[in-house]
Structures are given as structure tokens and as C-alpha cells.
Amino acid sequence: MGIKLKQNAMLLFYIVLYLAAIIFSKTGQHLASGLLLFMAAVGLFLHYFLKTGQVVNMPGLLSLSWVGGQAVASLKLSSLQRDWSWTTWLCFFLFHVCFLAGYSWMEGRKIRTRKAGGGLCRIVKFLRPARDQEKQLRRLLAGIIAVTGISAAAFLLEAAVLGYIPVFVNMDKPHLYSEFHISGVHYFTVSCALVLPFTSLYLCLKGIRRTLQDKGLTALLAICNLAALAIPVLCISRQQLIMSFGVSAIVILKFHGRIPGKQLAAVGGGALAVLLCGYLALTYFRGFDASMLNEMAEMKDQNMPLLVTQPYIYIANNYENFDYMVEHLPGFTFGAKQLFPVWAFTGLKFVIPQYTQFPLYVTKDILTTLTVIYDAYYDFGVAGVAGFGLLLGVLSCWLNWLAGLKKNPVAFLLYGEVAIYLLLSFFTTWFSNPTIWFWIGSTVILYWAVGFERRRENAHE
């Protein structure tokens, strides 16, 4: 009863702040609107952190990212931004609340099915993992080597066929990096983003000290990860770099549960410093500078520093693109937009392009990043956004439960991948992106490979 009261009180707190933020925004008080949404984002995150005791709980991550992103966008620092429509405000609210509702519903259901020994429990029994940890480690190491080798081979093939490597030519030809791909092959190239998370899980299972005692193993892991991290640098792909470090951090935090504050600050600070250096280096290689970005983003203050303009526009304009789409979309596509991975993997996008090529409604052609709910609204409108939030909440809770069982360690990777998509919910349409499904599919294959047992072994057990 106490938990429900706290939950309801927090929801009421969020609704009040959200309504106040809308009123302030509609009256032109954008700073006040942004501050109220920021308070809501931090309050919700702290609520779920105190409730679960974990920094990387999914409701908290989505709340911080989604509502925090709205707070940033509400500041209206760019001339491209306008006051959002009532439908846009409603969609932003519904997605978040429906996610929390779906998560909460699933949380109650998993407790009941665990007591009954059915439903979800039968699924886990079907996916019975190998109990021998050494066997799990060997299979996980084989996965690391395989993904590294396949990714490196795909990258070399693309470089040979296309005749260039983006990092060496992009200063002369900005945006050439976006053309560096061969259809079908590039999925394997970008799978390099999985190597560091796979390695992080391996080290969590085996232990860093025990791994370092084996010099051959240490050298092998170092080679695999250096090669995997070199590919996004050579491709000038900040997204792959962020995904590698982000998923790795979430896997480590989730695996170890509660980590002392000093250790968390040290590890987090070191990872953030490395990621920031890499991010800035890739920004330089893309040929961007502050004046160029300020002009491109039509910032009201053209003297805004690069470190402010770039993250601001990568967060704020995504919400503006959604609002622009809401205002200009002539009709819904009823599932075709979100099913694009099916068209891509089956090759149907080449056979029937008229059913897979939909106009992109954005404020400016060059600013094409979107929010996680863009395609959901494109397909089914407000109902699609609400349904997508519910489904995502249910899936997130199930993955949290699966990782918590600690029967198959690869469940932590699946959890980490979905969690980072929630943490970057303002950035792109993750769940209708073929690359994301390719990554998730690769991880599911690893899940099966690490947990596979012959029937004889199961029967003996």
C-alpha cells in the first residue's frame, strides 16, 4: 500500500509540473517551462533510483532522458523552434505514462506467475542455460572473436569496394562518411559496437584479476577491442562509439547491482572522459566547428560554443521534428513505417520501393535526427504512441526480470542494449531501425549459444 501511495504521489507530482510547464511554454516563459520539466525528470529518476537501489533501472533512465530532453528543447534557443501543438504535448506525455503503466503491470504479473510457476517461468525453463561457468566463458569468448573478425572483414570489404576510408577524406568532403556503406554488408561492419559490451560481460563473469593473469587471453581481448573501437573512428561514427561505451557501462552496473559511490564516480568519470575525447575527435574529423553548427542550427546566439550547440541541437531539434511531422503529416501509414526492418532484411525495399519510401518531415533537411516515437505516430497517430509506450514498458520489465534471474549472463547484454535506447530516447527511432534489430538479433543468437545444452544434459540434471 505504501509503495502504491508513493507511486501515485510521484505521478501526481509529474502531472502538476507537466501542466505548469505547458502553461509557461504557451505564455512564452520558456526558461520556466524548461526548469519545471527538468525538476520533473530529476524527481522521477530519484524516485525510481530510491525504489530499486539501481542507477540503471529502466523507468528512471527513460524518465531522465525523455522528460529531461523535453526540458532542454523547451528552452527554445534556436530560431527553428516553435511552440508545440497540443497534440505534441499529449504524445510526449502519453508515451512516458504508458511506458510506466506497462512496466508496472508487468511487474505485478511476473510476481504472480513466479508464484504459480507458469507463464514466464516456463519460458525460462525452455531457455535453460549451461550451468558450467567455464563453458559459458568459452562460448562468450568465441562470440567476441567471431564478431570482431566478421566486423573487420566487412569493413575492409567496404573500404576496398568504395575506395576510401571516411576519416582520411572527410575533411575535404564533409558528410562523405554517411555514404560509406554497402547494402547488407554494413550491418556486419557496425556490429563492432557489440565487442566492448561482450567483453565487459566476460570480465564481469571471469573477473579482471583472473583475466589479467592469463597474458595470452589479455592480449587477445585487447586486440579484439582495439580493432572494434578503431572501426567507428575510421568510419567517423559517434553513434557506434556511444553505443559501445554506453551498453558496456549499463552491463557492468546492472551485473554488479549496487556499486559504492567512490568506485562508481571513478569508473564513470574515466569512461566519460574517454568517450568525450573520442566524441570531440570525431566531431573534428567531420569538419564541424562552432560557427558552422550555430548557423546550421539557426541558434539565436551565434556565439554559442560548440560544446553547447552540438548536444543542444541533437536533443532539442528531435522534438521539433516530431512537432513538425504532427502538423504536416497528411495521413497515417498503418504499420508500414515501423516495419521498415522487415522491408530491409527481406530486400522488399528494392522490389516495392513505393511502399517503403516515406517523406521525412523535419524542420531542416540537414537536421534529420528524430525521437523514439516518431514512427509510432507516423503509423497510428496518438493511439500508436500510447500503444508503443505500453509495449515497450512490458518488454523492458520482462528483460529486467530475465537479467535478475542470473541464469544466462547474456540477458545482461539484452538489458543493456534496450536500456541505452531508452537513455537516448530523444535521439532516433531505435526500434524501427534495421541496424538495431541486427544488433539485438546477434545478441539473441549469443544468448542461445551461451545457454545451449543438449537434451541429455538437461535430462541428467
Residue 152 lies in a domain: yes
Residues 6+ apart with CB under 8 A from 199: 144, 221, 224, 225, 248
Residue 24 lies in a domain: no
Q: What is the pLDDT of residue 293?
A: 79
Determine the Cα angle at 57 with ends 56 and 62, to 5°.
95
Residue 59 lies in a domain: no
Q: What is the pLDDT of residue 274?
A: 60
Residue 206 lies in a domain: yes
Question: Which residues share a beta bridge with 299?
Answer: 78
Residue 344 lies in a domain: no
pTM, entire model: 0.89
Residue 191 lies in a domain: yes
Residue 13 lies in a domain: no
Residue 237 lies in a domain: yes
Query: Mean pLDDT by 10-residue block, N- to C-terminus, for the chain (461 residues)?
Result: 67 94 95 96 94 91 96 94 96 97 88 51 46 85 96 95 84 64 90 95 91 94 96 86 90 79 59 60 60 84 83 91 96 91 83 80 90 96 97 95 88 95 92 93 93 53 41
Query: How far apart are alpha carbons 310 and 306 in whole angstroms?
Result: 6
The total of structural domains in the chain comes to 1
Query: How far apart are alpha carbons 123 and 100 in whole angstroms?
Result: 24
Q: What is the pLDDT of residue 61?
A: 95
Question: Which residues share a beta bridge with 259?
Answer: none
Q: What is the pLDDT of residue 404?
A: 86
Query: How far apart are alpha carbons 67 and 252 in whole angstroms?
Result: 25
Q: What is the pLDDT of residue 126?
A: 41
Name the residue among 370, 434, 417 with its Cα closest to residue 181.
434
Determine the Cα angle at 280 with ends 277 and 281, to 5°.
85
Name the residue among 46, 74, 71, 72 with its Cα closest to residue 60.
46
Task: Determine the structural domain holding residue 231 and report its residue range.
Answer: 132-292+442-460
